[in-house]
Every structure is written in C-alpha cells, then in structure tokens.
Amino acid sequence: MSGRAAFVHDPALEAYGFGGDHPFNPIRVRMTIELCEDSGLLAGFPFVGPDPATDEDLATVHSLSYVRSVQKAGRGEGDPIELLGYGLGTQDNPIFPDVHRACAHVVGAVIGACRLVMNDEAEHALCVTGGLHHALRSKASGFCVYNDSAAAISRLKEEHPGIRIAYVDTDVHHGDGVQWMFYDDPDVLTISVHESGRYLFPGTGGVEEKGRGKGAGYSLNVPLEPFTEDDSFIECFEAVVPEALGAFRPDLILSQNGCDAHRLDPLAHLYATTRVFEHVPRRVHELAHELSGGRWVAVGGGGYDIWRVVPRAWTALWAILSHQGLPELLPEGWLRKWGERSPVGLPHRMRDDPGAFPSVKRGEEIAGRNRRTVERLREEVLPLIG
C-alpha cells in the first residue's frame, strides 16, 4: 500500500452515536461512505479494518478511573451522580449501550491510520469517524467520550521517540481537548481555526492560549467572528497555518476536518461554503508533501447538517487525499435513496453554487476584525515557534 491512500473504516465504527434526536448522528458517515462508493472514488481502495483501542491506548491520555467509568456506563452500571461528574449522562453526552466499545473502536481506527502512515504502509490515511476533539483527560465533553487524535499522537510519541506532530483543526468548535493534553509539549503543535469562544462552545481558544512552559508558542488559535465567510476564513488560514507548519517542520500532519463551519450547520454561526472544505485539505495535502514527506492523516469531526453538507465535504476530503478528481454531480442513485429519507431537499452538485448564498451585510467589518486577530497571533505567538 506504500505511496497510496488508505481509507480506514469498518461498519462497526458507525455504532458511535447517541440515538434519538441527538445532533451527532452516525448516518452522516454512512451517507459519506455511499457517496464515495457511488461516485467511483473507492474503486481500488479497499477499506482497512482497524482494531479497537486497548485500555493501555486510552490510558495514554485518559485516567484509568475515567475509562473504567465509561465501561460501567456502557454496561448500565455505575452511580449516576458519579458518572455525571465524568460528563456521562448529560444532554451532550447521553449514555448508550456499549459506549466504551463504540468509542474505543474509533480511537483504535485513528491510531491504526497513523501507524499505517508512519510505518510507510500508506502515504495518506483517512478515518472519517475520528475527530472527537473535545474529550478531556477525565471527562466526556461536546459529544466526545474518548479523544482519538490525542491518543494517536501519544502512541506515536511512544513508538517514534523525538517525532514532531502537527495537529491542524478547522472544526467550527475549538479543538480544546487536544490542545490541553499537549499544552506544555514542544513536539506537538496544535493549530485550531474556529468560531470565537465568546459566542460558541466550548468557550475557549483565544489567541492568549499559546502553550505553557516548554510548549509556549506551540498552541495556536485563530478565533473567527460569527458570520465569517469563505474569503476571510481562507485568508486567516493562509496567514497562519503554512508559516507555522514551515517553522515547526512536522514529521506528520494530523488534520481534523469538521465541516460545521458551513453556513447551513444548525449549531454554529460561521458562513463557509464547500469552497473552504476543499481549500483546507488541498493546502494541508500540499504542505504535507512539502514539509513532512507526504505523511498526512485526516479525521472527520463535527458537522450537523448531515444531509446537505457532511457527505459532500468529506467526499471532497477523500478525493483530495486519494489524488482523485471530484465529480461535479451527485450520483442519481444516491440522491434517490437518501432523498427519500431527507427532511430537506438535497443538492445535486458536489460544490455549492457561489451565488446560492448572499453575502452578509457586515462582511468587510467582520473580515477586518479577523485580520486584527491574526495580526495579534502573528506578533505574539508565531515568533515563539522554533
């Protein structure tokens, strides 16, 4: 498989979901898989099936007492009050049967994807079920029970002493869990481009969060104003990410590709279109080849317009990662199948029509505020990398 792209997936990974009307619905993964298949993008790319994470894998970033509590919760055991202290059984993170098994499988998939790339069995790897970036050391948070990216980074650091890993997160929500787990580590660069925590969960991710001790300068945050559109999002990304990665010189880039910055997403306030969700992975891909020998692992993340946005955004991600062209139209069979189930009309094109969404009235003012944020980051934090 060397020199090729790997799609790490197993239908069992689609068990991670909270049921009912919870916004985190694994049907978005099934729709993405089938859209890739029906578009001919998986021909010659058989799925690589992962093993679930072990307790030892999880304990690299989570406390063992927390892991045991998740296991109890999945069996219908444990004291409800104690579980609430671990963030389990809340509105965001309701308990579902076998929650430990489902989430440990996701963690194992991301660890497996990273090992494929680091062992030169694949050049790039994708695991769309990964990207659960809010989970903390001893607490579930923001639909995330275990932190797959953090566990993968920790395992790679053990297996490849001295490795430098860059984590690039463009989910609309701040990548807080990964940031805090490596906040004092100069061998892990975390970059998060997100809607400002002044307006959105988890309320963190300001420019002043720049790392601690030896890790000072290795946490970069780009908090964007609500209603930020494509041009400003891309301008801010380009003003920070290439220079930061160039200064850091990572051995591996791990990118989190939440697509909830789209203007149709019901849980946030940014105004991106599919243009952003092609630009970001394309540039990360280029930077991986320029800086890290092509070693790039991509995971999914947030995205709650599961019908119109997520399948198209992650199909574009796979096409870019696997060096394939993106079809202009969605397959008729896919549209028929999912159109019958969707509560909203499905788009027929992979890319948003540039004229489909009107510009916001204060677009230039918003872009100006974002520029000032980036200028501050470039003055106060970027010079610390080295």
| Residue of 134, 173, 279, 285 with catalytic role | 134
Q: Which residues contact 64 (CB under 8 A, 6 or more apart)?
A: 55
- The Cα–Cα gap between 189 and 163 comes to 11
Q: Among this protein's residues, is 134 annotated catalytic?
A: yes
Q: Above pLDDT 90, what percent of the chain?
A: 97
- The Cα–Cα gap between 284 and 279 comes to 9
- How is residue 229 written in tokens? 């559109």
Query: Cα dihedral sign for 24, 26, 31, 36?
Result: positive
Q: Residues 13-34: what's their mean pLDDT?
A: 97
The pLDDT tens digits of the residues spanning 145-193 come to 999 999 999 999 999 999 999 999 999 999 999 999 999 999 999 999 9
Boundaries of every domain in the chain: 5-61+100-384
- The Cα–Cα gap between 242 and 189 comes to 13
CA 340, distance to chain mean position in Å, is 29
Q: Which residues contact 146 (CB under 8 A, 6 or more apart)?
A: 53, 58, 62, 70, 103, 104, 106, 107, 132, 135
pLDDT band, very low/low/confident/very high, at 3 (cuts 50, 70, 90)? low
Q: How many CB atoms lie within 10 A of CB 21?
A: 6
Could you tell me which of 128, 136, 134 has the C-alpha nearest to residue 110? 128
The pLDDT tens digits of the residues spanning 328-377 come to 999 999 999 999 999 999 999 999 998 889 888 899 999 999 999 999 99
Q: Is 82 exposed, middle or buried (0-12, 13-18, 19+ CB in 10 A)?
A: middle
Residues forming a β-bridge with 44: none
Residues forming a β-bridge with 139: 136
Q: Above pLDDT 70, what percent of the chain?
A: 99
231 or 355: which leads in pLDDT: 231
* SS3 of residue 178 by DSSP: helix
Per-residue pLDDT, 1? 42
Q: Is the peptide bond before 202 cis (omega within 30 degrees of 0)?
A: yes
CATH of domain 5-61+100-384: 3.40.800.20
Per-residue pLDDT, 361? 87
Per-residue pLDDT, 2? 42
DSSP structure class, residue 194: E
Residues in the chain: 386
pLDDT at 316 over 50: yes
